[in-house]
């Protein structure tokens, strides 16, 4: 899953990027509202962590423009403002959740997980597909209760497929959602990661849909091939 962090405080921006990256996300960052708006307008993020008090363009105007332009990715607002009226304004502008500074990083991580679950129709932090389990809270993967060790990119790819279980996901969509902006993207590596995942999982869950992409389904799904 790919996230955008828009925060002008260099230390906090770095802390957020590191924490989210360590949690298994691909993370891009912006230091002001103009850059944040541009990235959110041109890149397909699964969620955005957006500060309100930004230079060049404030966070609420950035969010308002995104919503006017039809951008629907979940947005978690960060702010030092504590007035209830500011929070109401944020929700009315199109925010999905709100965190007041100072905050514990674990709270931000939990709220991001919740936003991603709601956006993809999942109620629990533990995603399941047949014998496969992926715990988004702990970043753990297991098959029939046996832990599976994955690289960061293998985990990101599997997590994206798990969040979109049963749907055909194209190779280009996977490239856009598992790599951050600075990564040298090569769609051919997706096939390599898929092959590694199949070998490590040891169960027939990831289908190749010729000419379209990949789909994650339980072994007993009708029409598997």
In this structure, the answer to whether residues 104 and 79 fall within a common structural domain is yes
- pLDDT number for residue 187: 67
In this structure, the answer to whether residues 132 and 197 fall within a common structural domain is yes
Number of structural domains found in the chain: 2
Give me the domain span that covers residue 106: 2-120
- The verdict on residue 110 lying in a domain is yes
pLDDT surpassing 60 at residue 181: yes
Q: What pLDDT digit, counting tens, does each position of 134-176 carry?
A: 999 989 999 999 999 999 999 999 999 999 999 999 999 999 9
pTM: predicted TM-score of the whole model, two decimal places: 0.85
In this structure, the answer to whether residues 142 and 110 fall within a common structural domain is no
pLDDT surpassing 90 at residue 221: no
CA 85 to chain centre: 29
Of 71, 95, 120, the position where a domain reaches its end is 120
Degrees to nearest 5, angle at CA 218 with 215 and 224: 60
Q: What pLDDT digit, counting tens, does each position of 19-54 carry?
A: 999 999 999 999 999 999 999 999 999 999 999 999
Strands 47-51 and 2-6: parallel
Which CATH number covers residue 116? 3.40.50.2300
- The verdict on residue 57 lying in a domain is yes
In this structure, the answer to whether residues 104 and 181 fall within a common structural domain is no
């Amino acid at each position: 899953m790919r996230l955008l962090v828009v925060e002008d405080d260099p230390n906090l921006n770095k802390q957020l990027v590191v924490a989210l990256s360590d949690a298994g996300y691909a993370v891009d960052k912006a230091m002001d509202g103009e850059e944040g708006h541009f990235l959110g307008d041109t890149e397909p993020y699964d969620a955005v962590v957006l500060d309100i008090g930004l230079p060049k363009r404030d966070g609420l105007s950035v969010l308002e423009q995104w919503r006017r332009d039809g951008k629907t990715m979940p947005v978690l607002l960060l702010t030092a403002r504590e007035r209830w009226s500011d929070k109401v304004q944020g929700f009315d502008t199109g925010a999905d959740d709100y965190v007041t500074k100072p905050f514990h990083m674990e709270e931000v991580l939990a709220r991001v997980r919740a936003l991603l679950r709601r956006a993809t129709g999942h109620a629990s932090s533990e995603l399941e597909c047949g014998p496969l389990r992926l715990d988004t809270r702990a970043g753990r993967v297991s098959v029939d209760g046996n832990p599976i060790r994955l690289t960061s990119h293998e985990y990101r790819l599997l997590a994206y497929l798990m969040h979109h279980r049963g749907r055909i996901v194209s190779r280009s969509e996977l490239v856009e959602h598992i790599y951050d902006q600075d990564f040298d993207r090569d769609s051919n590596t997706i096939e390599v990661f898929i092959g590694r995942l199949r070998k490590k999982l040891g169960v027939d869950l990831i289908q190749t849909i010729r000419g379209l992409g990949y789909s994650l389904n339980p072994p007993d799904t009708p029409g598997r091939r």
